[in-house]
Amino acid sequence: MPNIKSAKKRVQVSGVRNERNKADKSALKTALKKFEAAAAEGNRTEAESAYKVAVKSVDKAAAKGILHKNNAAHKKSALTLKFNSVG
C-alpha cells in the first residue's frame, strides 16, 4: 500500500479504470459472439442487426484505446466479409 497521497490516488484511479476496461472488453466480446452466432445460423436479418452492433462496439473500443486502430480495422473487415457471405 502506498504512503504518498498521489500514489494512493493513482491506485484508486487505476482500479476504477481497470474495471471499466474489463467491462468494455467483455461487452465487445459479447457483441462479436452474438454476430458470429447469427452468421453461423444463417439468419440474414438477425445477422445484420448484430453486425451493426458489433461494428459500433469495435469502433468504440478503438476510440477508447481498448483496441489498436489497425486491430479494429482488421476486425471490422473480417466482420464485413463474414456478413457478406451470409446467405
Name the residue ranges covered by the structural domains of the chain.
5-85
Q: What's this model's pTM, rounded to 2 decimal places?
A: 0.85
Quick one: pLDDT at residue 87?
72
List C-alpha distances in Å: 57 to 25, 72, 73. 10, 10, 12
Domain 5-85, CATH number (from 1.20.58.110, 3.10.129.10, 3.30.360.10, 2.60.40.10): 1.20.58.110
pLDDT tens column, 34-80: 999 999 998 899 999 999 999 999 999 999 999 999 999 999 999 99
* Cβ-contact 79, 61 below 8 angstroms: no
